[in-house]
């Protein structure tokens, strides 16, 4: 399988509960390498731009408010098949449906406040990484 990069975000519900290290241990244990990382606070407008694909969804405003409600950790994960691997480690969007041992099953509080984001395809991974990082900031 090809080496890929994917964008991961540790969301405000998780940073507030001091879960950054526990969540990143799950990624590293699964063989993913953190090759870029920063802790930032998004504005609601920046969150809205990032999630603009969901602009028509009923939860869009709530999602943007939530993503701007506290610090997030944005990071690039690298590994064989990293896009799918990251989503596997994250678990289903709704923690009630997430497999045991996944991040969302263990740590998430609701379908909205679900602790992590992960890119869903190669093209979105490229776009999402470029939204937060320059090439110089990605060090494998």
Could you tell me the smallest distance in angstroms from the CB atom of residue 140 to ligand ADP?
25
Per CB under 6 A, the list member of 63, 74, 82, 89 interacting with ligand ADP is 63
Q: Can you list the alpha helix ranges (DSSP code H) found in the chain?
A: 12-16, 20-29, 44-50, 60-67, 82-90, 103-107, 122-132
Q: Which of 117, 119, 125, 132 is catalytic?
A: 117
Tokens of 92: 């289903």
Binding mask 18-57 for ligand ADP (x = CB under 6 A): ------------------------------------x---
Known binding residue 87? Answer is yes
127 three-class SS = helix
Active-site residue 117, yes or no? Answer: yes
Taking residue 40's Cβ as centre, other Cβ atoms within 10 Å add up to 11
- Regarding 111 and contact with ligand ADP (CB under 6 A), the answer is yes
Catalytic residues: 117
């Amino acid at each position: 399988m090809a080496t890929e990069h994917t964008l991961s975000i540790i969301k405000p519900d998780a940073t507030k509960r001091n879960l950054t290290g526990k969540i990143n241990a799950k990624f590293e244990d699964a063989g993913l390498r953190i090759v870029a990382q920063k802790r930032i606070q998004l504005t609601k407008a920046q969150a809205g731009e990032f999630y603009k694909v969901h602009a028509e969804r009923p939860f869009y405003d709530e999602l943007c408010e939530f993503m701007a409600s506290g610090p997030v950790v944005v990071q690039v994960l690298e590994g064989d098949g990293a896009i799918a691997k990251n989503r596997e480690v994250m678990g289903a969007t709704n923690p009630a449906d997430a497999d045991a041992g996944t991040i969302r099953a263990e740590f998430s509080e609701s379908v909205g406040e679900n602790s992590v984001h992960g890119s869903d395809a190669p093209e979105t991974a490229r776009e999402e990484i470029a939204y937060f990082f320059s090439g110089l900031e990605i060090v494998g």
